[in-house]
Chains A and B, each alone.
Chain A
Amino acid sequence: MNCRKVNQFLSAYMDGELPGVEHRQIYEHLNRCQDCQREYDSLLQMKRMLGSMRTAHPALDLQTRIAYAISWEETQEANRTPDMIFMRLRLAFQEFFVTPQGLGLGLLTFLGVFAVLHQFPLPLDRAADSSIDWQKTPNSISELTVGLAPSAQERFVLPPVLRTSSAMPQEIFQVRPGRDRTFDLIQPSEQHYELSSWRTR
Chain B
Amino acid sequence: MDIARLLTGTVRKDRREFDQLVNKCHRQAYNVAFRMTGNAADAEDLTQESFLRAYRFFDRYDRGLPFENWLFRIMSRVFIDELRKRPKLKTQSLDQPLSGGDDGSEYVLEIPDFTSNPEQMALSHALEEYLQTALNALPEEFRVSVILADIECLSYEEIAELMNCSLGTVRSRLHRGRKMLRSKIQTAQHKQSLLTGDIR
Contact = CB atoms under 8 A, between A and B. Distances in A.
The reply to whether chain A is a binding partner of chain B is: yes
Interface of A: 8, 10-12, 15, 17, 42-59, 62-63, 65-75, 82, 84, 87-88, 94, 97-98
Interface residues of B, number: 60
Contacts of A75: 3-4, 7-8
Nearest to A98: B1
A63 B47 CA distance: 10
Nearest to B30: A58
B106 interface: no
B7 A70 contact: no
A51 B120 CA distance: 8
A72 B132 CA distance: 33
B123 interface: yes
A146 B182 CA distance: 81
23 contacts: A8-B175, A11-B171, A11-B178, A17-B171, A42-B182, A46-B185, A52-B120, A52-B123, A53-B35, A53-B151, A56-B31, A56-B40, A62-B30, A66-B26, A67-B19, A70-B4, A70-B18, A72-B4, A73-B56, A84-B82, A87-B45, A87-B48, A97-B3
Nearest to B34: A56
A67 B22 CA distance: 8
Contact of B174 (A11, A42, A44, A55): A11
Contacts of B15: 70, 74
A94 B171 contact: no
Given A42-B182, A52-B123, A66-B26, A58 B44 contact: yes
Given A12-B175, A52-B120, A75-B3, 13 more contacts: A17-B167, A46-B185, A49-B185, A50-B150, A52-B123, A55-B27, A57-B30, A67-B19, A67-B22, A69-B52, A70-B52, A82-B52, A87-B52
